[in-house]
A and B are shown apart, each in its own frame.
Chain A
Amino acid sequence: MKAIKTSCNFKKLFFIFYFLFLFQFSSGTAGELKRVVVIVTMPVATCEAHLKWLVVQLNDLGYKDGSNMDLSIIRANGNRDFAEKELQKILKNGKPDVVAAIATLASQAAYHVLKGSDVPIFFFQVSDPIGAGLIKKIGVPTGTNITGRVHTVPSGVRVNMALRLVEQITTKRPVRFGYIHSTYPSSVGDIKALKNITNKRDDLIFESYQIQYEKVPDGTPKMFADTKKGIKAISGKVDFWWQPQGPLAEIENYTQLLINHSDIPVVMGNNKAAVKKGALLHITSDLEAGGREAAIFMDAILKGADPGEIPVTPPSKFHIGINLTTALKLNIVVPPDMLDLAGDNVYR
């Protein structure tokens, strides 16, 4: 955790802890009925985990659906238009008190419908909120009706951790990572951030291959087919795979797809499932903490906090997962500090 903590601005942490402290002991409002809308981008594990912990924390804070809270959940299934229409239907019956959006597509839909209104929006599980057009700058108050949390660990941290491992087994420079991604905004923003890093150093490069984003789960076969083409196209140019942010790598068999169709090891997985399937490493936000944190902020907003005054910052808690079988197979010795950080997330 040392590396992650140092990347966080002390001020931001203070602000976050201040809010956590402020609202930890506050109970939900008892009498008044609060209209809460949650939009979920697609039925993938990450989104579902975030939704689960969001609801749990709302309950912990005293909000009970059907009692003092009218909770509406819109499942977009990867379709932004659908999400927007559903939200507009809800709006016709009255303004919600707060709207939570899980992942980029849902956040864009909420923002598009509620932009300029006084309905507060809280987004999370969004890797690149600037690229998605939600906010102008990370780390400062938005001044509008929207705020939220960035999903990913800063790109520099992920790059450094990955390099610490792969540098043990290759002397070739630059180290080449293959990055097959969809046109989904988070994916595009992620590769853009990674390439910004490689522009400043010459010891690694990212060879990217972009495919068209299709709605999940209906469009999964199409995206997998395109991914295979990508594997074929760039596998001769790369040393390791790096899984993208966004829905493509969220799909359960994506890691398997990479392993089955190339003999190139997957170093950076998108999530814990990817590491379990054979990816060497993943560094992702703590889904339980992320969901609970979102609920705490929503509670604050419901009690009168101005979303325009809450800065958008990275999440406060992360997970590192390591696949020791992959490490031993690659003759990589995982440094003690990384192994210590992984804790129980070490898989064989």
Chain B
Amino acid sequence: MKLQVKIALSIIPLVLLGIFTLGAWSIENSKKSIHKASFLYMDTIINSYMVDVNKINNLLVKNGLDTIASFVAEYKQKALKEIKTLQIKKDSSIIVFNSSGEFVFCSNKNNNSELESIWGPISKRAGTNPNLESAFHLIEEEPHVLYVVRHFKPWNWIVFFSMSDQDVHHAETQIRNATMGIASVCSLLSILLILTISKKFFVAPISHLVKAASAITHGQSTNKIEVLSKDELGDLARNMETMSNAIQESQAKIKDVNINLEKIVEKRTSELVKTNQKLNQEIEDRKQAEKKIKESEELFRAVFEQAGGYCMILESSDSGIPTILDANEAACKDHGYSRDEIIGRPVADLDDDEGKRLCVERTQRIMTGEPFEIETDHVRKDGSSFPVAVYANMVTFENKPPLIVTTEFDISYKKEAEAEKKTLEKQLQHAQKLQSIGTLAGGIAHDFNNILYPIIGFTEISIQDLPANHPVQENLDDILQGAKRARDLVKQILAFSNQSDLEQKSLPLQPLIEETLKLLRSIIPSNIEIKKELIEEQIYIFANMTELHEVIMNLCTNAYHAMEEKGGVLQISLTKDQPGIEHNLRLGEYCCLGVKDTGSGISADIIDDIFDPYFTTKELGKGSGLGLSVIHGIVKSYKGTITVQSEVEKGTLVNVYIPISSEKNIVDDILVKPAKPTGNEKILFVDDEKPIVKLGVRLLQGLGYTVTGETSSKKALELFNSSPDEFDLVISDMTMPVFLGTDLAEKILNVRKDIPILLCTGFSERVDKKTAQSIGIKGYINKPILIEELAIKVRKLLDEARGE
């Protein structure tokens, strides 16, 4: 048991005795105070109630109702009910008796007869006691109950307020418990105080001494022991300090010796560490150098292998032909050697014969140090050769013989590209030639048409004017045929040069084939049989009728010429097909027009040239050489194609593929020619060429019109201005001096807005529809003008102007 505990145990009983004695005295005193306070509380409650009762009674008295039984009874009941609203303790109760000792009311549900037997006499005595004015207190000992009594004289009520001992006892218990609690707290505090004091004066000094002794035992310093008292414990502490100091001095000396020894050891260790570090640095430097060499070697190898082309390192030999020192993977592989096979081999083994011959000379050039570039052929291991571009350089080293480094590239693709370029240049020259022909053709077409226009026109008039059996009729027919052939030739030239302006429509193909065959039958001799095999379903294509006629006629004529000598069968077929991409066509439905003959055929060596312009196998004067090239151009413009299959002496099949049109609103008026429309309106005809004016006037007069011809555009305008309502239609040439046709039209329309104007244009004067419409020109017609076409156009414009 510790010293501190021993001290505490010896003092605590005395402290506890004192505290509990004081507690018992406090409890007894508080009990009396509780009774006093209880009576005070009860007085307050019952006085408050009596005030209310008095107030109710005053109401009766004031209003003269204290003699009205019903009011008195009701108000007393009200007063008794007020008791229930009082805030009294649960075990407390308020009891009312009258002065005769009869029970009136109790706030608790008690036994009324019992109450009456106990309190009745008291009430009766109180009621008859004139000295008992207002109140008195009672204490009943067993059971312990407190009573407060009031006498309300106006109603002769004795009012008891009782409070049981339980409530009082409860208060006492609370006080006792509180006192006990305080005593316990005081005891605890006393113990703590005792413990604190004993610790400070006894336990702590002894504890310091024990620690000091322990420190001395373990050789530690105890310069100052914290015991300052001047009693025995203080003396003991000071002696122990003296002893401790002596021990400290001895230990300090031993410590100095140890420190010197440690310094010597530390110095030696430091030197050893430095030497070791130096050695480690040398090892590390060597490792770094080796690593750099390895990295350099890897870099060189990567560059050598990935540089592109064939890289080789050559070294000189006594023979003058260098040997291969190293070669990259590409060089080995593309020359057909393994690495082991190629290394040490003379480089001339890779050269062709010329290279082998020039190898020594080339080596000497390289060794001069100048850059060396050549294109030559290399030979693979298997003997095959391929072109290469060679770049070689001499590389010199200190204290070592120089080496040659070559970089070579396979230039096969370059050679192929050059060959292709030559072919394209040839094709370009050909195309330029064709273009110049087209330009030339276009240039002369206008003049040709102007020449042909009066020839055809006047011939037609002459044929109409002369009797049918007139001897000149035959000559006129020949003139007309020749002129028409000339006109067709112009059209062909224009079509070939892709400069024709022929209108395309959706056309039915079968009637056109029938019509063409009808014509052919008249010119094909009887030894040639014509067969046709046409699909029943009507086929429409988007084309120009003249061109299409030209295509069929041309193919059939060629077939006829092939069978001219021996006769044979000409077969025309029409089918539907989907040729697709094998013929280099867009996907979709096509018609296939087949023209097959059993004639001489076309030899394979010329079959590819048959579509070239001016290519012909016919005798001089029989063919222009433009026929197939023209129809090829026509079919191409329809987004179609032509295929040819032929065998010499067996015959030829030409298939023409043209896309089928979905439009079927065909104007096939040309197939069935109607009678020329006529009229009696007044027309102003303007052209700077007199023959054309003369012809135009004649043609239109022949159709019944009243025509005024004029060769000067200026005069024509003056004429129109002088009497604009005299004319129903104006027909004007496009190219004229002073005013162009469009200018004249514009000026005329300024004068009379509703006059219809027909513009005649040659090839080079084409005016597009939008331009013409923007000026106000109602129609235009291409030269050379045919009488039917002119008649139809004139009638149409006049009818439109009249609103029909």
Residue in A closest to B65 when the chains form the complex, CB atoms: A324
Residue in B closest to A322 when the chains form the complex, CB atoms: B63
Flag if A339 contacts B74 (CB, 8 Å): no
Residue in A closest to B56 when the chains form the complex, CB atoms: A336
Flag if A333 contacts B71 (CB, 8 Å): yes
Residue in A closest to B79 when the chains form the complex, CB atoms: A336
Flag if B70 contacts A333 (CB, 8 Å): yes
Flag if B59 contacts A340 (CB, 8 Å): yes
Flag if B70 contacts A339 (CB, 8 Å): no
**Please, which residues of chain B bring their CB within 8 A of the CB of A340?**
55, 59
Interface mask (A322-334 → B, CB under 8 Å = 1, otherwise 0): 0010001001011
Flag if A339 contacts B59 (CB, 8 Å): yes
Residue in A closest to B82 when the chains form the complex, CB atoms: A336
B75 close to chain A: CB less than 8 A: yes
Interface mask (B67-109 → A, CB under 8 Å = 1, otherwise 0): 0101100110010000000000000000000000000000000
**Please, which residues of chain B bring their CB within 8 A of the CB of A339?**
59, 63
Instruction: Give Cα distance in the complex from A124 to B74, angstroms.
Output: 39
Flag if B68 contacts A336 (CB, 8 Å): no
Instruction: Give Cα distance in the complex from A324 to B62, angstroms.
Output: 12
Flag if B68 contacts A328 (CB, 8 Å): yes
* Given A328-B68, A331-B70, residue A336 in contact with residue B63 (CB < 8 A): no
Task: Tell me the total A-B contact number using a CB cutoff of 8 A.
Answer: 19
Residue in B closest to A339 when the chains form the complex, CB atoms: B59
Residue in B closest to A348 when the chains form the complex, CB atoms: B64
**Please, which residues of chain A bring their CB within 8 A of the CB of B78?**
335-336
**Please, which residues of chain B bring their CB within 8 A of the CB of A336?**
56, 59, 75, 78
Instruction: Give Cα distance in the complex from A324 to B71, angstroms.
Output: 11
A346 close to chain B: CB less than 8 A: yes
**Please, which residues of chain B bring their CB within 8 A of the CB of A346?**
63
Interface residues of A in 301-348 (CB under 8 A from B): 324, 328, 331, 333-336, 339-340, 346
Residue in B closest to A333 when the chains form the complex, CB atoms: B74
Interface mask (A96-134 → B, CB under 8 Å = 1, otherwise 0): 000000000000000000000000000000000000000
**Please, which residues of chain A bring their CB within 8 A of the CB of B71?**
333-334
**Please, which residues of chain A bring their CB within 8 A of the CB of B56?**
336
**Please, which residues of chain A bring their CB within 8 A of the CB of B63?**
324, 339, 346
Write the nearest CB–CB distance from B627 to chain A, whole angstroms: 106
Write the nearest CB–CB distance from A76 to chain B, whole angstroms: 40
Write the nearest CB–CB distance from A168 to chain B, whole angstroms: 9
**Please, which residues of chain A bring their CB within 8 A of the CB of B55?**
340
Instruction: Give Cα distance in the complex from A328 to B63, angstroms.
Output: 12
Instruction: Give Cα distance in the complex from A333 to B75, angstroms.
Output: 9
**Please, which residues of chain B bring their CB within 8 A of the CB of A328?**
68
Residue in A closest to B57 when the chains form the complex, CB atoms: A336
Residue in A closest to B72 when the chains form the complex, CB atoms: A333
Write the nearest CB–CB distance from A331 to chain B, whole angstroms: 7
Write the nearest CB–CB distance from A334 to chain B, whole angstroms: 8
Residue in A closest to B78 when the chains form the complex, CB atoms: A336
Residue in B closest to A332 when the chains form the complex, CB atoms: B70
Interface mask (A196-236 → B, CB under 8 Å = 1, otherwise 0): 00000000000000000000000000000000000000000
Residue in B closest to A346 when the chains form the complex, CB atoms: B63
Instruction: Give Cα distance in the complex from A331 to B70, angstroms.
Output: 8
Instruction: Give Cα distance in the complex from A331 to B426, angstroms.
Output: 144
**Please, which residues of chain B bring their CB within 8 A of the CB of A324?**
63, 65
Interface residues of A in 15-39 (CB under 8 A from B): none
Residue in B closest to A344 when the chains form the complex, CB atoms: B62
Residue in A closest to B63 when the chains form the complex, CB atoms: A346
**Please, which residues of chain B bring their CB within 8 A of the CB of A333?**
70-71, 74
**Please, which residues of chain A bring their CB within 8 A of the CB of B75?**
336
Instruction: Give Cα distance in the complex from A328 to B132, angstroms.
Output: 37
Write the nearest CB–CB distance from A347 to chain B, whole angstroms: 10
Instruction: Give Cα distance in the complex from A324 to B65, angstroms.
Output: 9
Write the nearest CB–CB distance from A149 to chain B, whole angstroms: 31
Write the nearest CB–CB distance from A308 to chain B, whole angstroms: 46
Write the nearest CB–CB distance from A344 to chain B, whole angstroms: 9
Write the nearest CB–CB distance from B100 to chain A, whole angstroms: 25
Instruction: Give Cα distance in the complex from A346 to B60, angstroms.
Output: 12
Write the nearest CB–CB distance from A160 to chain B, whole angstroms: 18
Instruction: Give Cα distance in the complex from A136 to B71, angstroms.
Output: 46
Write the nearest CB–CB distance from B331 to chain A, whole angstroms: 106
Write the nearest CB–CB distance from A19 to chain B, whole angstroms: 34
**Please, which residues of chain B bring their CB within 8 A of the CB of A334?**
71
Residue in B closest to A342 when the chains form the complex, CB atoms: B63
Interface residues of B in 705-732 (CB under 8 A from A): none
Instruction: Give Cα distance in the complex from A346 to B59, angstroms.
Output: 11
Write the nearest CB–CB distance from A172 to chain B, whole angstroms: 21
Instruction: Give Cα distance in the complex from A331 to B68, angstroms.
Output: 11
Write the nearest CB–CB distance from B606 to chain A, whole angstroms: 113
Write the nearest CB–CB distance from A196 to chain B, whole angstroms: 32
Residue in B closest to A324 when the chains form the complex, CB atoms: B63
Write the nearest CB–CB distance from B340 to chain A, whole angstroms: 113
Instruction: Give Cα distance in the complex from A324 to B64, angstroms.
Output: 10
Kindly name the residue among A331, A335, A339, A346 whose own CB sees the greatest number of chain B CB atoms within 10 A: A339
Instruction: Give Cα distance in the complex from A346 to B64, angstroms.
Output: 11
Residue in A closest to B52 when the chains form the complex, CB atoms: A336
Write the nearest CB–CB distance from B81 to chain A, whole angstroms: 10
Instruction: Give Cα distance in the complex from A186 to B56, angstroms.
Output: 38
Instruction: Give Cα distance in the complex from A336 to B57, angstroms.
Output: 9
Instruction: Give Cα distance in the complex from A335 to B55, angstroms.
Output: 13
**Please, which residues of chain B bring their CB within 8 A of the CB of A335?**
74, 78
Write the nearest CB–CB distance from A281 to chain B, whole angstroms: 15
Instruction: Give Cα distance in the complex from A334 to B71, angstroms.
Output: 8
Instruction: Give Cα distance in the complex from A335 to B65, angstroms.
Output: 12
Instruction: Give Cα distance in the complex from A339 to B70, angstroms.
Output: 15
**Please, which residues of chain A bring their CB within 8 A of the CB of B68?**
328
Instruction: Give Cα distance in the complex from A333 to B56, angstroms.
Output: 13
Write the nearest CB–CB distance from A323 to chain B, whole angstroms: 12
Instruction: Give Cα distance in the complex from A340 to B62, angstroms.
Output: 10
Write the nearest CB–CB distance from A319 to chain B, whole angstroms: 17
Interface mask (B493-526 → A, CB under 8 Å = 1, otherwise 0): 0000000000000000000000000000000000
Instruction: Give Cα distance in the complex from A213 to B70, angstroms.
Output: 43
Instruction: Give Cα distance in the complex from A1 to B563, angstroms.
Output: 142
Kindly name the residue among A331, A334, A335 whose own CB sees the greatest number of chain B CB atoms within 10 A: A334
Write the nearest CB–CB distance from A329 to chain B, whole angstroms: 12
Instruction: Give Cα distance in the complex from A346 to B63, angstroms.
Output: 8
Instruction: Give Cα distance in the complex from A116 to B51, angstroms.
Output: 57
Write the nearest CB–CB distance from A333 to chain B, whole angstroms: 4
**Please, which residues of chain B bring their CB within 8 A of the CB of A331?**
70
Instruction: Give Cα distance in the complex from A336 to B68, angstroms.
Output: 14
Instruction: Give Cα distance in the complex from A313 to B254, angstroms.
Output: 107
Residue in B closest to A334 when the chains form the complex, CB atoms: B71
Instruction: Give Cα distance in the complex from A33 to B763, angstroms.
Output: 112
Residue in B closest to A335 when the chains form the complex, CB atoms: B78
Write the nearest CB–CB distance from A339 to chain B, whole angstroms: 5
Instruction: Give Cα distance in the complex from A269 to B124, angstroms.
Output: 48
Write the nearest CB–CB distance from A174 to chain B, whole angstroms: 25
Instruction: Give Cα distance in the complex from A333 to B76, angstroms.
Output: 12
Write the nearest CB–CB distance from B181 to chain A, whole angstroms: 45
Interface mask (B27-71 → A, CB under 8 Å = 1, otherwise 0): 000000000000000000000000000011001000101001011
Instruction: Give Cα distance in the complex from A336 to B78, angstroms.
Output: 8
Write the nearest CB–CB distance from B80 to chain A, whole angstroms: 12
Write the nearest CB–CB distance from B244 to chain A, whole angstroms: 85
Instruction: Give Cα distance in the complex from A333 to B74, angstroms.
Output: 7
Enumerate the 6 nearest inter-chain pairs by beta-carbon distance, A residue then B residue, closest first: A333-B74, A339-B59, A336-B56, A336-B78, A333-B70, A346-B63
Pairs across A and B, CB under 8 Å, 13 listed: A324-B63, A324-B65, A328-B68, A333-B70, A333-B74, A334-B71, A335-B74, A335-B78, A336-B75, A336-B78, A339-B59, A340-B59, A346-B63
Q: Which B residues are within 8 Å of any A CB, using their own CB?
A: 55-56, 59, 63, 65, 68, 70-71, 74-75, 78
Given contacts A339-B63, A340-B59, 15 further A-B contacts (CB under 8 A): A324-B63, A324-B65, A328-B68, A333-B70, A333-B71, A333-B74, A334-B71, A335-B74, A335-B78, A336-B56, A336-B59, A336-B75, A336-B78, A340-B55, A346-B63
Q: Which A residues are within 8 Å of any B CB, using their own CB?
A: 324, 328, 331, 333-336, 339-340, 346
